[in-house]
Structure 1
Amino acid sequence: MTMRPAHVQTGTNNRFTRLRRCLLAAALSLPLPALAAAPQACGTVIVPPGVGLGTPPASVTSLNPFLISSAYNGEASSLMYYGLLYINRDHKIVWPRSLATKIDVSKNNTVFTVTMKPWKWSDGRPVTTRDVKFTYDLIKRLGPTYPGYNSGGVPNLIKSFDILGPETFSVTLKHPVNPDWFELLGLAQFVPYPAHAWGKYTINQMWRHQSDPAFFKVVDGPYQLVKFKLGRFIEFAPNPTYQGHKSQIRRFIMTFLHSSGSEIEGMQSGTLDVSNLPFSLWNAVAKLKDVRRIKMTPNFGFQFIQLNYKNPAVPFFHDVRVRQAMADAINQEQVVHVLFHDASKPEYGPIPVIPSTFLPPSEKAGKYPIGYDPAKARKLLDEAGWKPGPDGIREKNGKKLAFTLLTPSGGTTSTLWTEIQQQDLRAVGIDMKIRQVTFNQLMALDYRPLTWEAMAFGWSLGSFPSDAAQLGSKGSYNQEGYNDKKMDELLAAVTTTPGLSALYAYEKYAVEQQPIIFQNDTGVVVLARKGLRGIRKFISPTGGWSPQYLHWTTPDCASQVADNVAPSSP
């Protein structure tokens, strides 16, 4: 799972976050001029971090996926390292785009034997199972400080990791599992990293060098790092030794912006080639010349309000009736229509609505026990002993039903959405104050439970929608301190029971309990310069990037305006 800025669309990729999910759409079937029939490396493409995720623009702060996990950092690091597994939007492994060529599973679902294709690092050395073992060993060394610790059962479920040859390894588990769950959420984490280059460093040294270009010289992905200016930009060039689809552009630059409006300005001025279309600026695209608007597949995840069960200032979050009332008070239908132009659907549980692959039949029909119902919300609060005070805010034992929500700054739509929620909650007698901080501040505060009461986040799932990382009592992302024995039992059953029955039971209980206040994802729309093609292969629903599929169709692609912008200078 990956934490992301609130009220935005993003994804997770098997290559750079811990439990990844779907991806790959068909390429755009647009007619190209004859020149494009003979691909050639030319031109530059400049984008802000977060493209295809719908996230407010921000900065890349680290390139080491073991240390700091965020959608922005993951987009950058994934360009340099080739993933063991590549998962499409149907939640299936795409073998031609994976380092692995097959997975053999024992009859008792405890031994997974993986065969890899021949592959090379940029310094000429072969990528081997020793590099995969290095990844596994590093996860064990990092322990709970690893962002995806125990996601997909890695590493605690693993009994042994055995190298059977340079291109074959096996993982033996402590007990039988649901094979789909372990492959998509566990094995997908085993991205090989260069043991011969990284193995000489301690963890403290890795931490100090996580933004040092010299540390990341040995790569096996489509791109290599050229420059990294913290707070400004990061520049990549094609990796000449990459054995996959060759890049058709000669430079790929992520320029760091810090407001949604700057994306539109960049598209208007020509200093950006691809960006998100902020929903708050939906009509502004009509004024942009030579720019296309492309609707993308929504994130396989959800938005949510994280409730702090560890903070004694907000003990009422422990009452399920209060949580249900909060969920019933918020009008998701209105938000989806007014703010997100019907690009998503209401969502009240941990299993994403789009695609509906894993939803129980009743929820496919749109029937939830939770939904917009202010009258029901008021009744629940009455039953919980919270009575309206003189100002309309409910009180109990001299305490007001009030809390402060921390939400990331920089997004107009995010702010509007939060304010709508604030009004909806106040209408039933709940006072939610709003405090905006940067996303990086939000992530830092999340690990200090006495400094916050509630936070707004987005969440990206792996291809199998089990959320033990956040909702399990020992989950690696359970900073809020949620602890429910039945939830742990249901989550455990999801990982061991083939089929979908256990998943349905987990979903039903999570919807009823609202351990976090589940909310709809947003969908995302991307803006692209008219002469740039390959957008749908560049951006996957998992949040991963494949800019090697981008290409300019204009005859003078090498002289695109983007070639002369500031980031190309030292």
Structure 2
Amino acid sequence: MTKPVGPRRLSKAAVLLAALATTAACGGSGGGGSNGADGPTGSPVHGGVVRVAEAPSTFPNAIWPFDTASQESTVNTTQFQQLLYRPLYYWGLNDKVSLDPDVSIGQTPTWSADGNTVTIQLKPWKWSNGETVTAQDALFWINMSAAETTTGGNYTPPNTAIGAKYFPDNIASATASGQTLTLTLNTQVNQTWFLDNELSQIVPMPLAWDVTGAGQQGKCATDAFGSDAMKSDCAADYNYLSAASTKGSEYLSNPLWSVVNGPWKLKSYDGTSGAYGMVPNPSYSGPQKPYLDEVDFVPYTSATKEYADLQAGSSGANAIDFGYLPAENAATFNAKNPDTGNPLSGQGYYTNAPTYLDSIEYYQINFANPTVGPLFKQPYFTKALQETVDQQGMIDGIYKGWAYPTTGAVPAEPAGNPLSPKSAAEKATYDPAAAKQLLSSHGWDTNQTPAVCTSPGTGANQCGDGIAAGTKAAYTLEYPSGSTANDTMAADMRSDAAKAGISINTVSKAQNTIGTEGVACSPSQPAGCQWQALLYGGWVFNPDYYPTGDALFATGAGPNIWGFSDPKLDQLAAKVTKSNDVNDMYAYEDYIANDQPVIYIPNTLQTNEVTKKLHIDAGDPFQGFEPEYWYYTK
């Protein structure tokens, strides 16, 4: 999920914004405490309000948990929707890359002997309107995903050339009876992958949402899976629900969104400023009921303003209780004691132990852009571009050690991912001279910046297919505004690329503006053909928890808005979805290392400034929030 740059298959859209972004830590943060490792140890107090700082110009803008590709971000999903509506399966509590059975609505799946049928028993949790969460609610979401393949943000189309099918095209039949959901498949699957990446997408939806308009009953939830009636009935529901999902001014007045099954319900929402508040859902059936009376999310237009509010102290009536420390204000990272040198200790805050997100950080390059797409389609060019990114320099300089390098398509941190020996040994390199040599050896005149193609053609020493004589090695990179760290990083990347003869025009825009621009190029979305490179954020592997890449890098995958396509990569990724042999996963990893679909940049450590009386949980590697585990201490 896309992770915003600043505070996830979720797009992680906001981590770089604040560098040490509060809102990026899924469930609060690791242990936390005045020494940066152990939180307040007093007895829990029931009650109280926690005010959380949002990353600059970044706030949720979709409430219905059936997101389009442009809405797929951690800000919308793990930090907002999942507080209200729990998915069938839940990952990430206590900073672990693993499934959490107790917090999941679905029981452990059982498989038939031939591996073709999977059966799931749903726990009889309650919706806030008193109805029981049933298998029909899960089938409602499945029917919607089957009907709305062109709009669903998690959808990856079948690849007939290699016999690959993804959810829901790999489902032959789906039925619901009481608490029992039964799925029969039409293809062989890796059962671990199917749970981690396919079943993980499902979010049970209340029957109160099966409507085509206010007071107009729909049939999507009860139609037979795959039927013509399902397609038309779900389309009618979709048109109404998707429109209502983005009308922030009506979130509170529209009865749709008052029906929740998560630990929280929405108390307030301002679609203009981005402020919103949550209060406990008294009907929540899960194991951990909230201690707090309320959690309020406070918007900011810049990290500078947020830091000024932290400097004002933690004791005021409108003080921030859970905030982020901008990179330019942080002390150098001390792994043994992250609270060392905390400039806000005197204001009543502690720095919690950092969380390593299960993510990769990068900026997107548009392979479908008619001007620069041909450049990005040349593996030598993207390799050269990567060689100009000084990840370690950024980590030591901009982030003062509060970051770690992205070295490939599978996260090296935290522990728990299947890393090939090659991936495990991979290091981030910085060599502008080697990058310049790569360009010059492929027909570019690098005596000027931008370099110019002087040897067009497809030969080994030529510029490559689609690159005409006189083409310049230049493109525009848009990045999120509101952060000095982002400004510095963009300037550094521009300067370092110029050393190799590559010219990058950097332009800052609001995070949500970049998110809106970031759509795939198609006849129906011509604007998706215009952008050239976007630093919107990297990827948190949620809900594709098994990092096979089919959900992100496969041809036509919903989040793959940059138009990357490689038939060999598709074949390797598809094989992993059917095979339990980890060597097939390793083959995918090793291949993509030489066929780079994005430009990697550092992952920032996720940590927070927390008021000293507030205990927070151990963090979540998938960049969400679980404030039901937070409490003030006596």
Same fold (TM > 0.5): yes
How do residues 369-388 of structure 1 correspond to structure 2 at under 5 angstroms?
371-388=429-446
Structure 2 gaps of 5+ residues are 12-24, 33-37, 158-164, 214-236, 332-340, 455-468, 520-526
Q: Name the CA shift for 1:282/1:253 in 2 (closer, same or farther; >3 Å).
A: same
Q: In the TM superposition, what is the alpha-carbon distance from 1:346 to its structure 2 partner?
A: 2.2
Change (3 A) 1:77 1:31: closer
Matching residue of 2:225: none
Q: In the alignment, does 2:559 pair up with 1:467?
A: no
> Aligned residue for 1:560?
none
Segment drifting more, 170-179 vs 147-156: 147-156
1:190 equivalent in alignment to 2:270: no
Deviation (angstroms), 1:362: 3.0
What are the Cα deviations for residues 262-281 of structure 1, in whole angstroms up to 9, with x where unaligned? 32223233421101222222
Q: Distance in 1 between matches of 2:31 and 2:614?
A: 13
Report the AA paired with residue 118 of structure 1: P
d(CA) in 1 for partners of 2:557 and 2:27? 25
Tell me which of 115, 132, 135 is aligned to 2:121. 115
Match of 1:487 in 2: 569
- 2:550 matched to 1:509? no
CA contact (8 A) 2:497 2:504 kept: yes
Task: Mark the CA change 1:187 to 1:221 in structure 2 (over 3 Å): closer, same or farther.
Answer: same
Q: Residues 503 and 519 from structure 1, CA distance in 2 versus in 1: closer, same or farther, beyond 3 angstroms?
A: farther
Matches within 5 A, 1:206-355: 206-210=241-245, 211=248, 212-213=251-252, 214=254, 215-232=256-273, 233-244=275-286, 245-269=288-312, 270=314, 271-283=319-331, 285-287=342-344, 288-314=346-372, 315-355=374-414
Per the TM alignment, residue 170 of structure 1 is displaced from its structure 2 partner at its CA by 1.7
1:557 aligned residue:
none
Aligned ranges 1:149-168 → 2 under 5 Å: 149-150=155-156, 153-163=166-176, 165-168=177-180
**SS in structure 2 at match of 1:471:** coil
Output one character per residue of 1:324-346: Cα deviation in whole Å (capped at 9) or x when no partner: 11112222121122222334432
What amino acid is the match of 1:265? A
Name which of structure 1's ranges 244-253 and 287-296 shifts more when overlaid on structure 2.
287-296
Paired amino acid for 2:2: M
The separation in 2 between residues aligned to 1:25 and 1:206, in whole angstroms, is: 33
Q: What SS does structure 2 have at the residue aligned with 1:145?
A: coil
* Alpha carbons of structure 1 residues 91 and 59: separation in structure 2 relative to 1, 3 Å: closer
Is residue 2:84 matched to residue 1:80? yes
Counterpart residue number, 2:581: 499
The answer (yes or no) to whether the contact 1:22–1:92 under 8 Å persists in 2 is: no
Q: CA deviation at 1:187?
A: 0.5
Deviation (angstroms), 1:181: 1.1
In 1, Cα distance between the equivalents of 2:112 and 2:399? Answer: 46
Structure 1 residues 253-309: Cα deviation after superposition (integer angstroms, max 9, x where no partner): 112222112322232334211012222221494145110111322221112232212
Structure 1 pair 344/390, CA: closer, same or farther in 2 (3 Å)? Answer: closer
Structure 1: gaps (5+ residues): 14-20, 50-54, 555-570
Matched residue type, 1:262: K
Deviations 1:73-106 (Å, cap 9, x if unpaired)? 2212111112221223543321111112221123
Partner Cα distance (1:218, 1:209) in 2: 14
Q: Distance in 1 between matches of 2:26 and 2:271?
A: 30
Superposition deviation, residue 122 in structure 1: 0.8
Change (3 A) 1:419 1:464: same
Q: What do the CA deviations read for 1:149-170 (whole angstroms, capped 9, x no partner)?
A: 239922222221122x321212
Whether the 8 Å CA contact 1:5–1:439 is kept in 2: the answer is: yes
The separation in 1 between residues aligned to 2:548 and 2:183, in whole angstroms, is 21
1-structure distance, mates of 2:489, 2:623:
23
From the superposition, tell whether residues 341 and 110 of structure 1 become closer, same or farther in structure 2 (CA, over 3 Å): farther
| Distance (Å, rounded) in 1 between the aligned partners of 2:117 and 2:59 | 40
Alpha-carbon contact 2:26-2:626 (below 8 Å) kept = no
Q: For the residues of structure 2 that align with 1:22 and 1:183, how far apart are their CA atoms?
A: 21
SS at match of 1:4: strand
Q: 1:104 to 1:360 in 2, by over 3 A?
A: same
The answer to whether the aligner puts 1:458 opposite 2:538 as a matched pair is: yes
- Aligned pair count? 532
For residues 197 and 483 of structure 1, do their structure 2 counterparts lie closer, same or farther at Cα, with a shift above 3 Å needed?
Answer: closer
Q: Structure 1 residues 520, 111: CA separation in 2 closer, same or farther (over 3 Å shift)?
A: farther
Alpha carbons 2:40, 2:633 under 8 Å: kept: no
SS in 1 for 2:594: helix
Distance in structure 2 (CA, Å) of the matches to 1:376 and 1:513: 17
* Equivalent residues of 2:448, 2:501 under 8 A apart: no
In structure 2, the CA distance between the partners of 1:22 and 1:546, relative to structure 1 (3 Å rule), is: closer
Taking structure 1 as reference, are residues 101 and 27 closer, same or farther at Cα in structure 2, changes over 3 Å only? farther
Partner of 1:359: 419
Q: Give the deviation of 1:392 after TM superposition.
A: 6.6
2:50 to 45, 52, 57: 45
Percent of matched pairs sharing the same residue: 25
SS in 2 for 1:296: coil
CA distance in 2, matches of 1:358, 1:385: 39
| Matched-pair contact (CA < 8 Å) for 1:405–1:432 | yes
Comparing 121-130 and 447-456, the one that deviates more: 447-456
Amino acid at match of 1:155: P
By how many angstroms is 1:27 displaced? 5.0
CA-to-aligned-CA distance 1:100-139 (integer Å, 9 cap, x gap): 2221123443322111222111111111001101111122
Q: CA deviation at 1:26?
A: 7.1
Q: Equivalent residue of 1:225, what SS?
A: strand
1:453 deviates by 1.3
Q: Which amino acid in 1 is paired with 2:173? A: S
- Structure 1 letter corresponding to 2:443: G
Q: TM-score, normalised by structure 1?
A: 0.87
8 Å CA contact retained: 1:231, 1:256 = no
For the residue of structure 1 that corresponds to 2:482, the secondary structure is: coil
1:402–1:430 contact (8 Å) kept in structure 2 = yes
Q: Which is worse superposed, 387-396 or 444-453?
A: 387-396
In the TM superposition, 1:56-71 aligns within 5 A as 56=56, 58-67=58-67, 68-71=71-74
Q: Distance in 1 between matches of 2:111 and 2:31?
A: 32
| Correspondence 1:138 to 2:161 | no
How far has the Cα of 1:496 moved from its partner? Answer: 1.1
Against the structure 1 CA distance between its residues 76 and 498, is the aligned structure 2 distance closer, same or farther, given a 3 Å change threshold?
Answer: same
Deviation at 1:383, TM superposition (A): 1.7
- 1:84, 1:518 → 2: CA distance? 32
Aligned to 2:559: 477
Q: How far has the Cα of 1:177 moved from its partner?
A: 1.1
| Displacement after TM superposition at 1:219 (Å) | 0.8
Question: What secondary structure does 2:360 align onto?
Answer: strand
Secondary structure of 2:607 counterpart: strand
Say which SS state the counterpart of residue 416 (structure 1) adopts: helix
Q: What secondary structure sits across from 2:386 in the alignment?
A: helix
